[in-house]
């Protein structure tokens, strides 16, 4: 009896345990189902979100593909345009090369025509040739009459007078005063060294004296005629070469009578400037030019040996050589006379006075330095205003005015001039 009761209790207890286990199992299954449902919902939401993202990405990809197609089509059009432009550029390049060759040919033909016209002009209408004269150097003449000066001193002065500073070096000017150049005929000549003092002397003499003009032998008339023809030739050359001259000078500038010294000198300077400008434009060798040699510069310009004659190309004269030409014009002496122990040096720039004892004639390899500034200098002094020093050296002060009781022109016995 007791065992049956125990058995029923045990069975009841086991039944309760089994019911509890089944309940737990049911609850676990329900929880598991709920968890799966929640996970499924989350997965559904994730899938929807990813689908939306994929849809957007697909749309963006489609847009990018469309843009890429547009860019590709545009690149094709640009490539076609590039090929067309390159083809057009090649055609233009060939055309430009052809036209450049034709232009060069025309320029050469024009240069040959100009050259032929210039040579014909200078051989038929304005022929120029060098004429040898028997004129002796004034320094050599004075050396025979002046016994006070030694022969070595006079020879050094004569050599200094024939020395020119040109293009950075001292050179001996063989065409200083022993030659002349004729134009349009042997009877119309011009001094080669640019000394036109005969014209001034004739004008002054004509003002003071009355008499025949000596039309055929008058040097002033030949000088004015030669300069007049040179002016006409220069103006004609400027028209043929199509070069604008820096100075305006009429053909009849030298045709007037009794031109004043200032007007005559100013006109000559204009003519020389125009000639140098033409020489620069035709690339004449600057070592051959001299600012005072009017007709000789013209001869170098129209010479058949000038390779660039007739060609019109950009030009720029060398600053060093141009300054050398200017220095040549400044340093070249025109008159040197002594009286009463006073030395007078007349350059193209100014008139300078020195005590005669201050001149120490020291000839060096660079040549004679002709002082044109109012200060003492020596053979070792440096460049001053572009004028080289060396050769002559002076120790006394220089003056631009003559001292009292002295006169630069020798008019009494014992006076010496070079």
| Whole-number Å distance between alpha carbons of 197 and 207 | 16
Distance (Å, rounded) from C-alpha 145 to C-alpha 134?
Answer: 19
DSSP per-residue letters across 270-288: HHHHHHHHHHHHTT--GGG
Mean pLDDT over each residue of the chain, to the nearest integer: 71
**How sure is the predictor about 182, in pLDDT bands with cuts at 50, 70 and 90?**
confident
**pLDDT (tens digit, 9 = 90+) per residue, 218-249?**
777 888 888 999 999 999 999 999 888 988 88
Contact (Cβ atoms closer than 8 angstroms) between residue 98 and residue 155 = no
Check: pTM over 0.85? Answer yes or no: no
Give the model's pLDDT for residue 158. 57
- Mention every residue, 6+ apart, whose C-beta is less than 8 A from residue 100: none
Check residue 198 and give its pLDDT: 80
Band of residue 322 on the pLDDT scale cut at 50, 70, 90: low
Share of the chain above pLDDT 90, in %: 25
Among 125-139, 159-173, 271-285, 346-360, the range with the most confident prediction by mean pLDDT is 271-285
Which range scores top for mean pLDDT: 79-93, 134-148, 275-289? Answer: 79-93
Average pLDDT estimate for 103-125: 90
Helices (H), 170-290: 197-208, 219-241, 261-281
pLDDT of 340: 42
Instruction: Encode pLDDT of 65-83 as tens digits.
Output: 999 999 999 999 999 999 9
Q: Which of 80-89, 133-142, 208-217 comes out lowest in average pLDDT?
A: 133-142
Stronger pLDDT, 150 or 252, i.e. the higher one: 252
| More reliable by pLDDT, 191 or 169 | 191
When pLDDT is cut at 50, 70 and 90, the band that residue 210 belongs to is low
Please tell me the least confidently modeled range out of 130-139, 241-250, 331-340: 331-340
| Mean pLDDT in residue range 253-271 | 84
Q: Which residues contact 21 (CB under 8 A, 6 or more apart)?
A: none
pLDDT digits (tens, 9 = 90+) for 9-51: 888 888 888 998 888 999 999 999 999 999 999 999 999 999 9
pLDDT at 334: 36
Residue 89 is predicted with a pLDDT of 95
Determine the pLDDT at residue 60: 92
**What is the b/e burial string over 25-53, where b = at least 16 CB atoms within 10 angstroms of the residue's CB?**
eeeeeeeeeeeeeeeeeeeeeeeeeeeee
Instruction: Taking residues 84-103, report their average pLDDT.
Output: 94
173-to-170, 265, 301, 336, 390 alpha-carbon distances in Å: 9, 23, 19, 18, 18
Which of these ranges, 143-152, 316-325, 393-402, has the smallest mean pLDDT? 393-402
End-to-end CA distance of the chain: 181
Nearest-angstrom CA–CA distance, 101 and 96: 8
Residue 194 CB partners (closer than 8 Å, separation 6+): 268, 272, 290, 292, 293, 294
Tell me how many helices (H) and strands (E) the chain has.
8, 11
pLDDT band at 356 (very low <50, low <70, confident <90, very high): very low
Per-residue confidence at 317, pLDDT binned at 50, 70, 90?
A: low
The residue-averaged pLDDT of 94-115 equals 92
Q: Which residue has the higher pLDDT, 41 or 259?
A: 41
Of 173 and 385, the structure prediction assigns the larger pLDDT to 173
Is pLDDT at 102 greater than 50 in this prediction? yes
Q: pLDDT grade, residue 367 (50/70/90)?
A: very low
More confident residue, 67 or 314: 67
């Amino acid at each position: 009896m007791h065992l049956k009761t125990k058995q029923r209790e045990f069975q009841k207890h086991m039944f309760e345990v089994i019911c509890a286990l089944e309940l737990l199992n049911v609850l676990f299954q329900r929880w598991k189902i709920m968890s799966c449902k929640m996970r499924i919902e989350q997965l559904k939401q994730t899938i929807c979100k990813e689908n939306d993202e994929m849809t957007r990405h697909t749309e963006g990809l489609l847009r990018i593909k469309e843009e890429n197609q547009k860019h590709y089509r545009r690149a094709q059009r640009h490539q076609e345009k590039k090929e067309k432009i390159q083809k057009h550029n090649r055609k233009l390049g060939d055309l430009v090369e052809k036209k450049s060759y034709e232009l060069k040919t025309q320029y050469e033909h024009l240069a040959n025509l100009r050259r032929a016209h210039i040579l014909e002009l200078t051989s038929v209408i304005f022929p120029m040739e060098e004429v040898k004269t028997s004129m002796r150097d004034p320094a050599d003449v004075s050396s025979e009459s002046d016994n006070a000066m030694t022969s070595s001193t006079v020879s050094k002065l004569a050599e200094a007078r024939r020395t020119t500073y040109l293009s950075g070096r001292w050179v001996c000017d063989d065409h200083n005063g022993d030659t002349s150049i004729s134009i349009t005929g042997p009877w119309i000549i011009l001094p080669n060294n640019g000394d036109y003092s005969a014209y001034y002397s004739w004008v002054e003499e004509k003002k003071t004296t009355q008499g025949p003009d000596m039309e055929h032998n008058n040097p002033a008339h030949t000088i004015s005629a030669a300069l007049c023809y040179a002016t006409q030739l220069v103006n004609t050359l400027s028209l043929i070469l199509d070069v604008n001259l820096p100075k305006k000078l009429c053909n009849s500038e030298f045709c007037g009578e009794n031109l004043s010294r200032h007007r005559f000198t100013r006109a000559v300077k204009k003519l020389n400037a125009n000639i140098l400008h033409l020489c620069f434009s035709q690339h004449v060798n600057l070592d051959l030019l001299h600012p005072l040699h009017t007709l000789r510069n013209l001869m170098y310009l129209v010479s058949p040996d000038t390779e660039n004659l007739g060609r019109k190309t950009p030009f720029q004269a060398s600053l060093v050589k141009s300054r050398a030409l200017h220095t040549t014009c400044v340093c070249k002496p025109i008159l040197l006379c002594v009286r009463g122990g006073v030395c007078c040096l007349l350059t193209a720039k100014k008139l300078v006075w020195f005590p005669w004892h201050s001149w120490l004639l020291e000839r060096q390899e660079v040549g004679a330095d002709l002082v044109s500034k109012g200060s003492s200098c020596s053979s070792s002094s440096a460049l001053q205003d572009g004028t080289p020093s060396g050769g002559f050296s002076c120790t006394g002060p220089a003056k631009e005015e003559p001292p009292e009781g002295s006169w630069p022109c020798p008019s009494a016995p014992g006076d010496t001039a070079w």
